[in-house]
């Protein structure tokens, strides 16, 4: 049995300034793609780069939690690992 993977695209309606639309179509033509293809490329690039900009777990939670007063080698290791000393 042969299975085929079907790639279905979603239709989206955009409202753009006529000048922006015209420049976009010219840019798409210069890149050898369609206006829709250009928009798809730009959105794909933006969503990938924005996902890379996520801050680290440490940065997200720094200053929002209080450290335990526990001591010992494990706590010392964790404080050093997550730069929580001093």
Examine the domain organization and report whether 27 and 67 are in the same domain: no
Q: What percent of the chain has pLDDT over 90?
A: 34
Examine the domain organization and report whether 44 and 69 are in the same domain: no
Examine the domain organization and report whether 36 and 64 are in the same domain: no
Give the DSSP letter of residue 68: P
Examine the domain organization and report whether 34 and 68 are in the same domain: no
Claim: this prediction has a pTM higher than 0.85: no
Q: Is the CB of residue 60 less than 8 Å from the CB of residue 82?
A: no
Domain ranges, residue 48: 1-54
Examine the domain organization and report whether 33 and 46 are in the same domain: yes
Give me the number of domains the chain comprises.
2
pLDDT in tens, 44-84: 888 776 556 667 777 777 777 777 777 888 888 888 888 87
Query: What mean pLDDT is reported for the chain?
Result: 83
pLDDT of 34 strictly over 90: yes
Q: Of 49, 28, 29, nearest to 40 (Cα)?
A: 28
């Amino acid at each position: 049995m042969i299975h085929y993977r079907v790639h279905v695209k979603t239709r989206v309606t955009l409202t753009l300034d006529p000048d922006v639309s015209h420049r976009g179509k010219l840019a798409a033509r210069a890149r050898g793609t369609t206006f829709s293809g250009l928009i798809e490329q730009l959105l794909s690039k933006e969503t990938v780069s924005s996902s890379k900009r996520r801050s680290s777990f440490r940065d997200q939670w720094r200053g929002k939690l209080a450290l335990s007063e526990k001591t010992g080698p494990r706590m010392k290791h964790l404080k050093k690992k997550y730069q929580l000393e001093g």
